[in-house]
Amino acid sequence: MMWRFALRTVRARSSAYIASACVIGAGTALLTAFAALVETGITMPAGGGESLAILATIMGGWTVVVVVFGIASTVTLVVQQRTRELALIRLIGAVPRQVCAMVVVETSAVTLPAAVAGLLPGIGLGAFLLDRMVGVGVVHEPIQLAVSRATIAASAVISGLAAVVAAAIAGRRAAMVAPVLALADASGAETGPVSRAKTIIGVAFLLIGIGSGIGTLFMADGPLLAAVAGPACIGVAIGLALLSPFVVATLGRIATLVPSSVGRLAMRNLNARATQASTIVGALALLVGIATGTLYMQSTEDSIVDRAPDDIGPQFAAANYLIVAMIIAFCSIAVSNSLIAATWQRRREFGLLQLTSSTRRQVLGIVAVESTVTTVIAVVLGTIAAAATVVPYSIVKTGSPIPAGPWWMYPAIVAAGFSIALAATLSTSVRATRLRPVAALTTL
């Protein structure tokens, strides 16, 4: 009976699960591509694929962490949005264990087809990347992409486990919310404190990232330098993302200083929705941190003119830019889908605001202010994360803490972050506010 109920819920709330499905599919595709490249490099005869295997392993290791975090964040957000609905289910007699199991079943029902759907595009992406590796000289002879059952299984299992474990943790927390909160307008998950486990994991990632950045300063300039410096921005970005609810929660304290009534309400909304808002902040911070850190690290490498005749740096640079572009594309998909899911779920809130004399234009203004403030916080955190990579790497490479590279690259990354955030939130808000306010109040 629980299985049937869970599957019916997925069908009835298919729009809420589209975000998770898109991120899971994109993550599986990216993991499959890198796993296939590693396998291809290992299986090439006479060590001809050593460079390919090393590059794919280093970049693939970062990608696993990014994909797992992106999938887990999106799934957690979708479950958090259902806290009120899950509390209603508790009111009709379901126990926490049953609610948690139902969430896991629902997520599994979405994860399996999404992961399978991502496998074939992943193989195509891997073939495309391999072709480009041959083109830039990382691989010296054309070769067919090697894809075994183990590669396919590993990619699907990593994506599936990330989604299911995140659903189990978020579902357990949502199931522990008092059922009486179902009668309230807000869910307890939005205003609850950050869990101790999340804080510990955030601090651990932060320390790993900082340690990686500090360790870079004591390394000699060589091919392993990027492998040590690169993970620093990812570790710090994920750590700051997990701890970002503490930052978002402080916005309510400064709301009274904002002169505009729309701005004050937006700041208070972010404070009340600190947990969900921090998920968006984290995804955006990861996008800005990875983009800024890896691109400026590579541009600093490109600025070195004295190279040995057998230096393969230029070949690796071209491949790195392509691979980083793929990772940034995944982060953009995760951010966009999370923002769309979070905004669409606020239809009831938008309807209530309109019924209490707020105009549609004012509602859209509130959303625009919230999106802007969220992005500013994410840019600051992402910049801090990027500094953990580019500053020590630049010191070792050039002796200066300021990375080499075009001045416009950082403003372009920031502008891209703002564009993604505003486009996703405002377009969804425009669609959500077209609903009649009274009809919007009936949504969960």
On whether both 363 and 238 belong to a single domain, the answer is yes
Which tops the pLDDT comparison, 46 or 334? 334
Which tops the pLDDT comparison, 368 or 316? 368
Confidence of residue 409 (pLDDT cuts 50, 70, 90): very high
On whether both 38 and 65 belong to a single domain, the answer is yes
On whether both 51 and 105 belong to a single domain, the answer is yes
Q: Within 10 Å of residue 12's Cβ, how many Cβ atoms? A: 9
- Of 125, 160, 184, the last residue of a domain is 184
> What pLDDT digit, counting tens, does each position of 12-66 carry?
566 667 888 899 999 999 999 989 988 888 887 765 677 777 778 877 787 888 8
On whether both 408 and 433 belong to a single domain, the answer is yes
| pLDDT above 90 for 294 | no
Indicate the range of 122-126, 147-151, 386-390 predicted with least confidence: 147-151
pLDDT value at position 120?
93
Which tops the pLDDT comparison, 358 or 433? 433
Which tops the pLDDT comparison, 230 or 310? 230
Give 136's contacts (C-beta < 8 A, 6+ positions apart).
Answer: 315, 318, 319
Which tops the pLDDT comparison, 295 or 81? 295
- Of 152, 184, 216, the last residue of a domain is 184
Structurally, the chain folds into a number of domains equal to 2
Mean pLDDT of the chain: 82
On whether both 205 and 169 belong to a single domain, the answer is no
On whether both 145 and 64 belong to a single domain, the answer is yes
CA atoms in the 13 A half-sphere facing the CB of 220: 1
pLDDT value at position 5?
62
- Of 135, 159, 184, the last residue of a domain is 184
On whether both 204 and 95 belong to a single domain, the answer is no
Confidence of residue 94 (pLDDT cuts 50, 70, 90): confident
Measure CA 124 to chain center. Answer: 23
On whether both 141 and 235 belong to a single domain, the answer is no
Q: Among the residues of 183-224, which ranges form H helices?
A: 188-191, 196-217
On whether both 222 and 136 belong to a single domain, the answer is no
pLDDT value at position 187?
42
- Tell me the angle at which helices 149-175 and 14-43 cross, rounded to the nearest 10 degrees: 150
pLDDT value at position 207?
94
On whether both 281 and 318 belong to a single domain, the answer is yes
Mean pLDDT of 271-288: 81
Look up the domain containing 309 and give its range: 193-444
Q: How far is it, in rounded angstroms, from Cα 359 to Cα 354? A: 6
On whether both 267 and 175 belong to a single domain, the answer is no
Measure CA 428 to chain center. Answer: 19
Which tops the pLDDT comparison, 321 or 236? 236
On whether both 149 and 217 belong to a single domain, the answer is no
